[in-house]
Amino acid sequence: MKKQEFKAESKRLLDLMINSIYTNKDIFLREIISNASDAIDKLHYASLTDDSVNVDRDDFKIRVSFDKDKRIITISDNGIGMTEAELDHNLGTICESGSLLFKKENENRENIDVIGQFGVGFYSAFMVASKIEVLSKHFGTEDAYLWKSDGVEGYTIEKSKKETYGTDITIYLKSDDDSYEYSKYLDTYVLEDIIKKYSNYITYPIIMKKMDHILKEGSKDEYEDVEKDETINSMTPIWKKSESEVSKEEYDEFYTDTYYDYESPARVFRNNVEGKCTYTSLLFIPKHTPYDFYGKNFERGVSLYSNGVMVMDKCPKLIPEYFGFIRGLVDSPDVSLNISREILQEDKEVSLIAKSLETKIKKELETMMKDNREEYEKFFENFGLQLKFGVYNDYGMHKDDLKDLLLFYSSKNKKMISLKEYVDALADGQEKIYYACGETYDKIDLMPQVESFKDKDYDVLYLKDYIDEFAIRMLREYEGKEFTNISNEDVNLGSEEDKKIIEEENDNNKDMLDIMKEVLSDYVKDVKFTNKLKNHPVCLTSQGNLSVEMEKVINAMPTDEHIKAETVLEINKDHTIAQKLKNLYETDKDELKKYAKVLYSEARLIEGLPLDNPTEISNLICELLSK
Ligand code: ADP
């Protein structure tokens, strides 16, 4: 018998567990029972798909018992069991420990239900145990093995004896102390309560021995106490109960217990579908973004069941990526039990269900947007990015499905609005949907270009997520109204008359502007006077398809490729600086060149772009200020 140490990371989690920062110790039972149920699932599944495995569905059970004198609780299952190697591997390491990561990131936040959120499984038993023994025999093997650990020093595994396949987990309760009464678990009613609360929908019977007060045999009035097996859990999957039977609270509880969320879901929706495909789905929209949602290890997908038997825990094929926030399950008699991850990709039934689910989810979101705008806005704050990616990805294949679910910040309403709302409220004579991009709404609001739109009472959508403009470009138009970046050189709200005036102004000052353009030839395509600005002296606009914002986004990506938007320096024709430039053109052309550089730098700063040559510019400014 060899003594093994826990892997380093496991040690830290164990430590966390033992000196529990988590106050709800009751969940250890849920974790152990849920493992037992998984182990039975595995054997059940094998029996349905492998002829050599002969077990009867009706024999499956999980038994919970305790011994008051020995201070032990035992949880037994007749599931698949573990071999020696599996005991060593499965109970010796805590894989990819999400909770540790989470703990590190949130060290300073208090009262976080860390463990409750993740379900760290087996190890949670050390919250209440001073010692744990796992006696297991893998189905179809002869030998049983006993794994023992007191949680601190490591564990041992030795050969042992066990009649039947499956696993017995024995928990030796800690002694009571001032902080906690561990003996409370040595009570039928306490255990029963915990099982009902957290494991009610486990699909196999969870059995406990209970005292029954019954008439003595042959007697008419004499009673006796007899121990009898009783199934504690309801067993019927919650999605198989008739809808009128299940309360919102029950769904919420199912959700929080199954997905380890500390908050109830924003939305629960269940569908029973018959037709091209037949299935029941129970889906949830979380109230908040899971902590690792945008991380690369986040596993998308809902669980797939075939007539109550779980076929796959996370089936990504069922839910499109842009609805990746959906949690829940699908149960369909049409899905073959033998399905593997590989065939799943091509499975016709699964594709049909996926298509149908997508429509249902979309409808649910539309209803949410209509009936409870506040809730929808909250939802969009959490998951809107996902939807915008959905518009952009796959060459815009899904844009029409998603466009009405989008919200953008409206400069006029100072809140999030849909594209439909924007178009329905167009100002007189407005033909386009205008948008502006920047880092924050406040910063966009201060952009020089925005001023003239405000003047005209045109609404402008403010875009601050980096994906925004890419998604908008993919959409191109909404209800025939083209999306237009107000920073585009071509955008001009002036009248024909105004346009003529500015054209003349540019023609008249062509030589002067050419000198400025020459100095800035490495940076801008053009330098010109504009009538777009009211109080501001300059702005930077872009020609063609690539905006300055897009340049920033693309260049921030970790590739070697660097691109440049084709920009134009526009100078307010009515600003005093315009006259100053004209004067310099007559008197001091060198000085004019310096002004060109400074004005261009100003325009870049306003756009939130860095200067290539900050020292040169700052020296120039000082030189000009000192005059
Ligand atoms: P998780 O259940 O999240 O994988 P646990 O720490 O709870 O993590 O369990 C680790 C592994 O140990 C399980 O994935 C499973 O393979 C194995 N295991 C735990 N309990 C049992 C059991 N009762 N029967 C068979 N295998 C088990």
**pLDDT of 93:** 65
Q: Is the CB of 167 under 6 A from ligand 1?
A: yes
For residue 292, CA distances in Å to 118, 285, 297, 467, 534 come to 11, 16, 8, 19, 46
Q: Is the CB of 14 under 6 A from ligand 1?
A: no
Q: Is the CB of 368 under 6 A from ligand 1?
A: no
Kindly report, residue by residue over 569-615, the tens digit of the pLDDT: 999 999 999 999 999 999 999 999 999 999 999 999 988 888 989 99
431: exposed, middle or buried (Cβ count in 10 Å: 0-12, 13-18, 19+): exposed
**pLDDT of 437:** 93
Q: Is the CB of 77 under 6 A from ligand 1?
A: yes
Identify the H or E element spanning 621.
helix 614-625
Between the CA of 206 and the centroid of ligand 1 the distance, in Å, is 17
**pLDDT of 465:** 92
Rounded Cα distance between 574 and 135, Å, is: 87
Q: Is the CB of 168 under 6 A from ligand 1?
A: no
Between the CA of 91 and the centroid of ligand 1 the distance, in Å, is 7
Q: Ligand 1: which atom is nearest the Cα of residue 75?
A: 23
Q: What angle do the packed helices 468-475 and 548-556 form, to 10 degrees? A: 120
Rounded Cα distance between 91 and 151, Å, is: 11
Question: Is residue 21's pLDDT more than 80?
Answer: no
Between the CA of 35 and the centroid of ligand 1 the distance, in Å, is 5
Question: Is residue 556's pLDDT more than 50?
Answer: yes
Q: Is the CB of 83 under 6 A from ligand 1?
A: no
Q: Is the CB of 306 under 6 A from ligand 1?
A: no
CA-nearest residue for atom 3, ligand 1, is 121
**pLDDT of 105:** 43
Q: Is the CB of 122 under 6 A from ligand 1?
A: yes
Between the CA of 30 and the centroid of ligand 1 the distance, in Å, is 12
Between the CA of 209 and the centroid of ligand 1 the distance, in Å, is 25
Q: Tell me the mean pLDDT in the region 27-31.
A: 86
Q: Is the CB of 37 under 6 A from ligand 1?
A: no
Q: How confident is the model at residue 68 (pLDDT cuts 50, 70, 90)?
A: very high
Q: Ligand 1: which atom is nearest the Cα of residue 31?
A: 7
Q: Is the CB of 124 under 6 A from ligand 1?
A: no
Question: Is residue 98's pLDDT more than 50?
Answer: no
Q: Is the CB of 283 under 6 A from ligand 1?
A: no
CB 218 within 8 A of CB 226: no
Q: How confident is the model at residue 292 (pLDDT cuts 50, 70, 90)?
A: confident
CB 47 within 8 A of CB 55: yes
Residues in the chain: 627
Question: Is residue 1's pLDDT more than 70?
Answer: no
Kindly report, residue by residue over 191-227, the tens digit of the pLDDT: 999 998 878 878 899 999 998 888 888 888 888 888 8
Kindly report, residue by residue over 312-321, the tens digit of the pLDDT: 888 889 999 9
Identify the H or E element spanning 14.
helix 8-18
Q: Ligand 1: which atom is nearest the Cα of residue 77?
A: 23
pTM: 0.74
- H helices within 429-531, ranges in order? 441-445, 450-455, 468-475, 496-508, 510-519
Q: Tell me the mean pLDDT in the region 622-627.
A: 92
Between the CA of 350 and the centroid of ligand 1 the distance, in Å, is 28
> 488 - beta bridge partners?
542
Q: Tell me the mean pLDDT in the region 3-23.
A: 64
Between the CA of 122 and the centroid of ligand 1 the distance, in Å, is 7
Of the candidate ranges 52-61, 194-203, 389-398, the one whose mean pLDDT is the lowest: 194-203
CB 545 within 8 A of CB 564: no
Pocket probe for ligand 1: among 13, 38, 44, 89, the residue whose CB has the most ligand atoms within 8 Å is 38
Rounded Cα distance between 197 and 214, Å, is: 28
Q: Which domains, ranges and CATH numbers included, belong to the chain?
A: 2-231 (3.30.565.10), 238-376 (3.30.230.80), 406-485 (3.40.50.11260), 496-625 (1.20.120.790)
Q: Tell me the mean pLDDT in the region 453-473.
A: 93
Question: Is residue 410's pLDDT more than 50?
Answer: yes
Q: What is the mean pLDDT of the chain?
A: 88
Q: Ligand 1: which atom is nearest the Cα of residue 169?
A: 23
Of 5, 365, 344, the residue nearest 149 (C-alpha): 5
Rounded Cα distance between 292 and 594, Å, is: 50
Q: How confident is the model at residue 338 (pLDDT cuts 50, 70, 90)?
A: low
Question: Is residue 96's pLDDT more than 50?
Answer: no
For residue 3, CA distances in Å to 6, 82, 126, 498, 506 come to 10, 19, 19, 88, 86
Between the CA of 86 and the centroid of ligand 1 the distance, in Å, is 9
Residue 195, both tokens: 């099982």
Question: Is residue 117's pLDDT more than 50?
Answer: no
Q: Is the CB of 82 under 6 A from ligand 1?
A: yes
Q: How many CA atoms lie within 13 A of 201 on its CB side?
A: 17
Instruction: Say which residues have a Cβ less than 8 Å from residue 57's Cβ, sequence separation at least 6.
Output: 44, 47
